[in-house]
Amino acid sequence: MAGAVRSHGCLRLLGTHLKDLLYTKHCVLFDCDGVIWNGEKAVVGAPEVVSLLKKRGKSVFFVTNNCTRPRDGYLQKFSRLGFSDVVQSDILSSAYCSAVYLRDVAKVQGKVYVIGGDGVYTELHEAGVPAVGREPEIPGATIYDCPLDSDVKAVLVGYDDKLNFLKLAKACCYLRDPDCLFLATDRDPWHPLPRGRVSPGSGSLAAALETAAGRRATVVGKPGRFMFDCIAGRFGVDPARTVMVGDRLETDILFGRTCGVDTVLTLTGVSTLEQAQGYRDSPASEEAACVPDYVVDTVADFLPALDEER
């Protein structure tokens, strides 16, 4: 039944079961960070898995909430890390999908004020959506006297490691207009860094602005389904023949469940098997919605199932 919460989950995928699952699927969706790479190092076996899936006639897409790079930048990273079969149309980032949403869904007639970095600005530019927000500030300017652009019709919040009070205050001023659209690239709260450190994610920045503006942002990235709708609309993907592979329960796995596709948690990133099992055994419906159907240690576990034609 559509929308029903399943009573099972966290099943280990091994051998024949993994081969049978891949045989029934035509499309595989991968998250990137923590799934096929960690930082500047590919997960062992990941390039071979992607190559073999494509050779077996599968459609492969990469759906990432990381908005720091444009798709061309991601394509360069794929190539640098040894993924030789990836093309730009395989890649959907929250920055790219935000630009598509503003252009094709919201059809915004005016400028977009951006809290974000180069990835967001580049994708907006390539989509023909005018953006403002990174112009040099007037020395000494404050929210009391800084100029505001009367043509701003939307505010978009993404990851911004140069966020400051004035940026936040300007965005809040624009959002006083109830007709000003309020978007966030994603709601990831934090990102892991080397040596156990973390960085605040786009979600934490969006939450700050939501509190200040008294408004709730429309979120383009996972776990919302807009990324999947972009793929399905362009490539005719069938949810019943699709599987989502991710490392974050509240983002990737919930995204898969929201889109009605089977989900696989890989243990090379953020979430642990213990967390998934805890969600499975929890009476809370919001946690049950984040339970993966299947679990693998790493995407390299796919290799034996792909080594031979069925």
Binding residues for Mg(2+): 31, 33, 247
Instruction: Reply yes or no on whether 72 is catalytic.
Output: no
Q: Return all residues near 204 (Cβ < 8 A) that are at least 6 apart.
A: 189, 190
Catalytic residue, candidates 31, 252, 262, 293: 31
Q: Coil, helix or strand for 177?
A: coil
The Cα–Cα gap between 207 and 115 comes to 13
Q: What's the full length of the chain, in residues?
A: 310
Tell me phi and psi for residue 5, to 5 degrees: -90, 125
Maximum Cα interatomic distance, the chain, rounded to a whole number of Å: 68
Q: Which structure tokens are listed for 202?
A: 């786009």
The helix or strand, by DSSP H or E, that contains position 60, with its residue range, turns out to be strand 59-64
Annotated binding site for substrate: 191, 222
The Cα–Cα gap between 105 and 103 comes to 6
Instruction: Reply yes or no on whether 31 is catalytic.
Output: yes
**DSSP category for residue 30:** E
Give the number of other CB atoms < 10 A from CB of residue 32: 22
The Cα–Cα gap between 193 and 200 comes to 10
DSSP string, 12-64: EP-HHHHHHHHHH-SEEEE--BTTTEETTEEPTTHHHHHHHHHHTT-EEEEEE
The Cα–Cα gap between 160 and 202 comes to 7
Annotated binding site: 31, 33, 191, 222, 247
Catalytic residue, candidates 20, 33, 149, 186: 33
Question: Which residues carry out catalysis?
Answer: 31, 33
